[in-house]
A = this chain, B = another copy of it.
Amino acid sequence: MATIGVLLTGGPFQYEHWETAVDIGDAALAKGHKVKYFFYLDGVYNPVSYQTFPDLDVMPKDRVQELVAKGAEIIACGICVNARGLQGGKDYVEGANVGGLPDFAEIVGECDRLVTL
């Protein structure tokens, strides 16, 4: 069992990095690996819980929440969160936490592999 760190700098929708980041995490968790995400830059938009779109049942935030439910750790860069007006992540799905680059440094120290998307 390995610890896989994932740095995600892409937001939901506009670019599809978030989807690959989630798909890798899902597959890794299913194999029993530990997965730790750091959401940086536009990556911090992903866990906003009020996302809705006509005809779409599963939104990016739902995928984030599923990752948490399966045991993934999620920390978002607080400076990026507040720059984007997300007020400390107050509307984040449960389990998506706000921290800072020191948390990312810790993930770098802990992880066996780091994937950046």
Contact = CB atoms under 8 A, between A and B. Distances in A.
Count of chain copies: 2
Contact of A42 (B14, B49, B50, B53): B14
A84 B54 contact: no
A45 B79 contact: no
- Best-surrounded residue of A50, A79, A87 (most CB of chain B within 10 A): A50
Task: Give the size category of A's interface with B.
Answer: 20 to 34
Interface in A21-66: 41-42, 45, 48-54, 59, 61
Interface of A: 11-14, 41-42, 45, 48-54, 59, 61, 79, 82-87, 91
20 contacts: A11-B11, A11-B42, A12-B84, A13-B83, A13-B84, A14-B41, A42-B42, A45-B84, A48-B84, A48-B86, A50-B85, A50-B86, A50-B87, A51-B83, A51-B84, A51-B85, A53-B83, A59-B83, A61-B85, A85-B91
